[in-house]
Amino acid sequence: MPSNKMILQSPNTNQVACPALFLTAPASNQGKTTITAALARHFSKLGKTVRVFKTGPDYLDPLILAQASGHPVEQLDIWMAGTEYCQERLYLAAQHADLILVEGAMGMFDGEPSSADLAACFGIPMAIVMDVKGMAQTAAAVASGLAAFRDDVEVSGLIANRCGSERHAQLIRDALPESVPLLATLKRDEEVTLPERHLGLVQAEEVTQELEQKFEAAVDWLRQTNDKGLLELPKPVVFSEPVTSYENSDIEPQLDGKRIAVAKDLAFSFIYHANLDALERLGAKIYFFSPLYDHELPDCDAVWLPGGYPELHSNVLANNDEIKQALYAFYEAGKPILAECGGMLYCLESLTDLEQNTVPMLGILQGQGSMRGKRGCQGMQTAVCPQGEIRAHAHHRSRSAGTPDPIGHGRRQRHPAPGEPIYQVKGLTASYLHFFFPSNLTAIAAIFSER
């Protein structure tokens, strides 16, 4: 739709102003996603266009936040995507949005780059979300310390989550300095808690109606606060158009006319919207299919098996012989297949779930996969492939054994030890790594082309 925003002219670039707020916390599990979703729904109900972004590599939170806001949610990560890419996503969103919300990852200063780095880079004020159960003045001390830790980060205030009473809130309010106001005091309410499982939140598609009930309850929850700062639009932030544009750059259509079949169902859903956009920018046509329920592949030139939860649907996957045979024949013909994390587990000979049930998988990659309880691997890595280097990340609680020799390993962001192995057999590229396609379109085009 056409924008009613005024584009501000400056000597070197275009700019646009839009109210924006960055939701951060001292640690994980403080309620950031619940509050971000509640805010998105609150302002949407007021007729505002709300665009939400998620910091770092995350597939599940964005689905929740997209349902809450009514708009797609994109990732922002300076290391994974680059500063100018992030700048352009914010600039484009600001042209049409009445409000931009960014949900951080982990703690405010955790990671390199951190949520604070991202907020500072684009001048977005940060609201600190803190679970204050079991503390009062100490919550004010922690918030004050976070606010003063760096002078390039602006903190707009504290959101006290799971606040027990107005007396509890008053103790925190009185202990805070004027520079860190109390934006909201949110009571303990399990009705708004989002459902979780071992890799994070439950997929939005599985609990659509339940989420709608929680979003509506969360709006009421927000509006019950005695501190109203969070219920008003934050101050505008000026977002600038980057010098180098990803959106308008001349991309050679290296996959022009190629048909790519993408697995997408409850077993395979870890798909960045940016990755689909990258394939289309390269000229590819995308066709979705379900390894759970479809019995044949779409007419295609390449296949992408993204990550997800194959272990939760392993019996259905194992018993769908028709699609398994179709994928096996596709592999035997030397056609390109990219399999990431859960997609790689599906390619192995077998998969053992958390209850120690073992079922046969595709068998196009030698080895056996097995789920693990709490131990796993996560972190940012660069996938070092013969086709080129691609920014990526790992997040899994499983292991594989008996696999062939890898053609290389991921390069960890901060640690010298080898990262996740990368396998290439015939046309198959498989790894635990989740690739961020826009980081190297040429390498992605080569992976999806016949070798």
Q: Where are the alpha helices (DSSP H) in 1-156?
A: 32-45, 60-69, 78-81, 83-94, 115-122, 137-148
**Strands lying side by side in the sheet with 368-371:** 358-360, 350-352, 368-371, 398-401
> What residues contact residue 329 under an 8 Å CB cut-off, 6+ apart?
none
Q: Which residues of 290-329 are buried (b: 16+ CB within 10 A; e: fewer)?
A: bbbebeebbebbbbbbbbbbbbbbbebbbebeebbebbee
Residue 371 contacts residue 398 (beta carbons within 8 Å): yes
Q: Which residues are catalytic?
A: 341
Residues pairing with 52 in the sheet: 101
Tell me the Ramachandran region of residue 341: left when phi exceeds 0, alpha when psi lies from -120 to 50, beta otherwise.
left
Residue 243's CB: how many other CB atoms inside 10 A? 9
Residues pairing with 289 in the sheet: 263
> What residues contact residue 70 under an 8 Å CB cut-off, 6+ apart?
44, 50
Residues pairing with 389 in the sheet: 384
Q: Which residues of 426-448 are buried (b: 16+ CB within 10 A; e: fewer)?
A: ebbbbbbbbbbbbbbbebbbbbb
CA distances from 367 to 289, 344, 393 (A): 25, 10, 22
The C-alpha atoms of residue 288 and residue 298 are separated, in whole angstroms, by 8
Residue 396's CB: how many other CB atoms inside 10 A? 22
